[in-house]
Amino acid sequence: MRARIYLPFILTLIYVFNAAAQTGHAPPVAPVAATRHNLMPVPASVRFNPGRLPVGKSFSVAVRGQADPRLQAGIDRMLRRIEGRTVMELPRGLAADAASATFVIESAGAGKAVPSVDEDESYTLEVSDRQAALKSATAVGALRGLETFLQLLDGDRDGYFIPSVHIQDRPRFPWRGLLIDVARHYQPMEVLKRNLDAMAAVKLNVLHWHLTEDQGFRIESKKFPRLHTMGSDGKFYTQDEAREIISYARERGIRVVPEFDMPGHATAWLVGHPELGSAPGPYTIERKAGIFEPALDPTREEVYKFLDVFLGEMAALFPDAYLHIGGDENEGKQWDRNARIQAFMKEKGIKDNHALQTYFNKRLLTILKRHGKIMMGWDEIFQPDLPQEVVIHSWRGPAALAEAAKKGYKGVLSAGYYIDLIFPTAQHYAVDPIPAGSTLTAAEAAHVLGGEATMWSEWVSAETIDSRIWPRTAAIAERLWSPRETTDVEDMYRRLDVVSVRLEELGLTHEKNQATLLRRLAGGRDIAPLQTLVSVIEPVKEYRRYRQRPQTMLSPLTGLIDAARPDAGAARRFNAAVEKLLSDAPRFDSHSHQVKTTLAEWMSAAPELEALIDGSPALHEARPLARDLAELGATGLEALSYMSRGVAPSAGWRDARLAALEQIAKPKAALEFPVIASVRQLVVAASEMSRLKQLTPAEWKEQVKTLAAPPAKQPGN
């Protein structure tokens, strides 16, 4: 009995002080929303009122003011999506009488003929129990409002409805993008289109189309056909297909910014045109991932004549005002070994490779200005004497972006939004282009245009790319649209689950394709135990996949690592359940039930997993993971048993279990368990109870902070 009396105190302190150890301060208390809703991004201003607008078979839409074709098409898409959710056939076409229509849309103007960074995307939405009214300055603003209206659609026993609400909305940043790298792995047209639909659904407005790399040159050039015929393995977009994507994006209020990476990342350029290179050919398409030496020769006039013609052709194809020249990760090794380039640098007084690349960038800027384009490039182009009209795209972070802004450069942030690195949504959500406490003046802050999520494609196929982009990118979209104060992580995850399901209606495969991949791996056998495993594992983070699972750009991306998803939902729910268990000791029994059920499920899945693995050679690499899953389940159940009985285990038990967890924490098959820290907390809570209860509160704080924190990661893990 005495142990049970101390248990609430012990468990609560373990939770509180462990949270403090991980964050460096007391755990924050998330603000409670006045009204729960499923809107994402959260509007700039939203006020819910009493009442509701019924949505039935007579639902009708009328338009006042500018009848832009994009708005007409957007309304039709909205109606089809409402039909899909409600299983009701709605009237076709627009209502003639606005007074009797269910939904009245008024757009003051069409907006920019070519989508622009300064497009007015604001709108107001007023819903009463009689009618909904959407007003905007442009068709693009109306399209944003339609997406909000769709997110408001709800249903109960009385039918479907839109809650009465007043919304005034506008984006915080004008540049809210998604980079899709189609060069390392080509993505078919339907992949781009369904992702454009998803971008529009969460109010992103820039598709950054990364078209050239060491591994592929993906756009047709009629001026220099050897670029795409020799540098693409036959996988490229014709100019007509590019126009189709540009038009598809424009209809949804999305700009398309092309990127042609230079002077580095240039192998695919040089396969067909080795004369442009800084070293003699021949060149072949690169099949591996990484940073490679081939670079354009910045000292030869023939290179600039070539680029003038090519960029002029691309400038005519892509109507957006901006053109991205990459400029990243050029190590200059070919330049160092080229005697003629070194002589040129000496003659011109160019002191190093950074200065030589700035020389190259200035020449490019002149070319792009002549073709009516604004030049944009990655952090590496930000060198002394770079003209201020160039836009800096930062992968280094908000501090680097702020430095550029203070010097008068416009910029876009991608650091913290690298979705290919498999970080959890909350980590991306915490990154802000202009974080709280920024020292930028208002004029300097205006230079920060926004941000882009980046889908680098070393390890994605058409079958898996959606699962790497969505739903996490919806949270990044919220960070770029919504007020800075929108920071409630728990509520973000709640709404993200709803958004993820809604995105499926646009054809995205992020939810359904996992089961497809698992069925293939299991050879038609029951995949339930495999689903249990994959629900609590994630691919390794950052760039560790390169080292732990060597593959090339020709390797099939159909393994267990490809089926596993970032920010595994079941793992996150388990971690949350353990947090509740350790922080709400008076309800220990009710909270422990959910944790016990999950741990038991892990244990029972293990024997079935072993049988599946025996019958599928493709799953042999998962055998250690199956055994680790069973051990995690057994360890957690043992810890819960000790806590439930109020009996402390032996020190030997604790040491053995913590040592085992440290081994389980080491990735296998480039996969890892994000639940290990929670199981470790259960072990600590069980094993230290009898000793910790004798300590003073101050001693508790120090001991628990040390004991409950996970061990430091070792290099290479």
Catalytic residue annotation: 329
Buried-exposed string 177-197: b where 16+ CB fall within 10 A, e elsewhere: bbbbbbbbbbbeeebbbbbbb
Q: How many Å apart are CA 243 and CA 241, to the nearest integer?
A: 5
Q: How many Å apart are CA 330 and CA 326, to the nearest integer?
A: 10
Q: What is the DSSP string of 474-496?
A: HHHHHHHHS-TT---HHHHHHHH
- CA proximity to 434, closest of 388, 486, 480, 383: 480
Would you mind telling me the total number of residues written for the chain in this entry?
A: 717
Q: How many Å apart are CA 216 and CA 232, to the nearest integer?
A: 5
Q: Put residue 27 in one of left, alpha, beta given phi > 0 → left and psi -120 to 50 → alpha.
A: beta
- CA proximity to 538, closest of 427, 412, 372, 410: 427
Number of helical H runs and strand E runs in the chain: 28, 19
Find out whether 14 and 708 touch, Cβ atoms under 8 Å. yes
**Neighbouring residues of 566: CB distance < 8 A, sequence distance ≥ 6:** 419, 422, 423, 424, 467, 468, 472, 538, 539
Helix or strand run (H / E) with residue 339:
helix 339-348
- CA proximity to 637, closest of 686, 571, 584, 674: 686
- Exposed, middle or buried, 334 (CB in 10 Å: 0-12/13-18/19+)? buried
* Token pair in block for residue 11: 């468990």
Find out whether 263 and 296 touch, Cβ atoms under 8 Å. yes
